[in-house]
Amino acid sequence: MKLYNTLTKKKETFVPLEEGKVKMYVCGPTVYNLIHIGNARPMIVFDTARRYMEYKGYEVNYVSNFTDVDDKIIAKANEEGVSAEEISTRYIEECKKDMEAMHVRPATTHPLATKEIDGMIEMIQTLIDKGYAYNVDGTVYFRTRKFDEYGKLSHKNLDDLQAGGRSLLVTGEDQKEDALDFVLWKPKKEGEPFWVSPWSEGRPGWHIECSVMSRKYLGEEIDIHAGGEDLIFPHHENEIAQSECCNGKIFARYWLHNAFLNIDNRKMSKSLGNFFTVREICEKYDPQVLRFFMLSAHYRSPLNFSADIMESSKNALERIMTAAQRLRELSGDKEMTDQEQEKLTAMGEYRKKFEEAMDDDLNTADAVAALFELVKFANTEVSQESSGKFAAAVLKEMAELSDILGLSLEKKEETLDEEIERLIAERQAARKAKNFARADEIRAQLLAQNIVLEDTREGVKWKRV
Ligand code: AMP
Ligand code: ZN
């Protein structure tokens, strides 16, 4: 399998540190709001990478954090008059629901920054002891110029950075020895959450979190570190500096970065306000459509979001679903003919193409194309005259390749029921809040899907009519 490594700017053959095992860390979201579909891109593409590596027989230890202490979380907590912990706990729960809907499997470990502060204090102390960090009035900075290899990931030159250094100077950081130095620990401000440390009551900088959590759950050397391309500089560059200076070892062998999800050719982001949450999109589409849309492009290509592209993704996915349903109906116990056996052997070509695409730096766009060739094969080669075992074998092939992409061909009856239950609960809440307009709207929405509600003494019952 080849992977494009940001560090070397080349596609390289993937060789794990330990045979048959992959240690992979993916930077997770900062939890102060519902995630938007831009945040969903790394989740979906790296979950697919994980699934494919597992398919190839690797045991994948997959770690992805939640950043649960941050200025934005604190700002949101102040806005609502609740604690920062309440905000982060709420949005971690919501994020996990979105992940499940998009078939993003839970990580082996999802560490929380706030639960790892001791490890961060220890790493910062080691960096101070080794001369890589210094404390000024309770703020600890990393001495960037002491690390000769700084800039190796983003391919930036320290002097160019220095020239642009003024923009790196953040207000209140004027006591730094050098404009390129970055914060490892900062003192609390009034009303902020804090932890006791040898330098001040305060909290860690963002970059140190990932260095510490990655080391704790995966070890000092890992195979793959991944995230969106906006993280290359400074986040990942700083992680490398911290980890390699502290541990004296190469931190991660392969650095993978997804390109942005854009809208009107601009990055979708909370700060620009041009975003859709995963939740909003899933009200209109099966979450699998979102997943399918993300995988229809290569992860390193920018992807533009539009209503049209969602519609065509929906139609494309439906073509797979319809083919699968037809195969399900044609499946049975009748034995295959010799001719069908031969066709089945020829069908192996699509899996081969699929694997070749995925082996080529996770080219999901070509893998999806191979899946569609299989769909075409199914639609033309399997008919009423085919044996039940032949139809079943083609269905199995289609389901297995889809599963590597995290797409399930199962009928959606169950989730539909869940959605109904959710709407009923929402309607009850609306009635309780005397929002009868919303309650009626939900009843009408369900009725439009031929679902009738009945208010009984034991609660609301529903049936399909
Ligand atoms: P954040 O919560 O902003 O730290 O982002 C969490 C993850 O989502 C990071 O890996 C980001 O690089 C990624 N990300 C944020 N916005 C986008 C976008 N528009 N397209 C692709 N990835 C994004
Ligand atoms: Zn990170």
Phi, then psi, of 22 in degrees rounded to 5:
-130, 130
Answer yes or no: is pLDDT of 361 > 60: yes
Could you give the count of Cα atoms lying within 13 Å of 62 in the half-sphere of its Cβ? 21
Does residue 32 have its Cβ closer than 6 Å to ligand 1? no
Mean pLDDT on 188-207: 96
Mean pLDDT on 289-298: 98
Residue 166's pLDDT is 55
- Nearest C-alpha to atom 11 of ligand 1 is from which residue? 228
Report which of residues 271 and 379 the model is more confident about. Answer: 379
Q: Report pLDDT digits (tens) over 7-18.
A: 999 999 999 999
Residue 171's pLDDT is 61
Answer yes or no: is pLDDT of 161 > 90: no
Pair 318, 289: CB distance under 8 Å: no
Answer yes or no: is pLDDT of 173 > 80: no
Answer yes or no: is pLDDT of 452 > 90: no
pTM: 0.89
Residue 418's pLDDT is 79
Q: Is 221 annotated as a binding residue?
A: no
Answer yes or no: is pLDDT of 338 > 90: yes
Answer yes or no: is pLDDT of 382 > 60: yes
Residue 24 alpha carbon to ligand 2 centre in Å: 12
Does residue 227 have its Cβ closer than 6 Å to ligand 1? yes
- Calculate the average pLDDT of the chain: 94
Mean pLDDT on 134-162: 94
The CA distance from 195 to 203, in Å, is 6
Highest mean pLDDT among 160-164, 367-371, 437-441: 367-371
Pair 268, 262: CB distance under 8 Å: yes
Q: Is 270 annotated as a binding residue?
A: yes
Burial of 89 (0-12, 13-18, 19+ CB in 10 A): middle
Does residue 41 have its Cβ closer than 6 Å to ligand 1? yes
Amino acid at 136: V
Answer yes or no: is pLDDT of 96 > 60: yes
Name residues with Cβ closer than 5 Å to ligand 2, which is an ion. Answer: 27, 210
Q: Report pLDDT digits (tens) over 67-84.
A: 999 999 999 999 999 999
Residue 335's pLDDT is 98
Locus of tokens 């290899």: 149
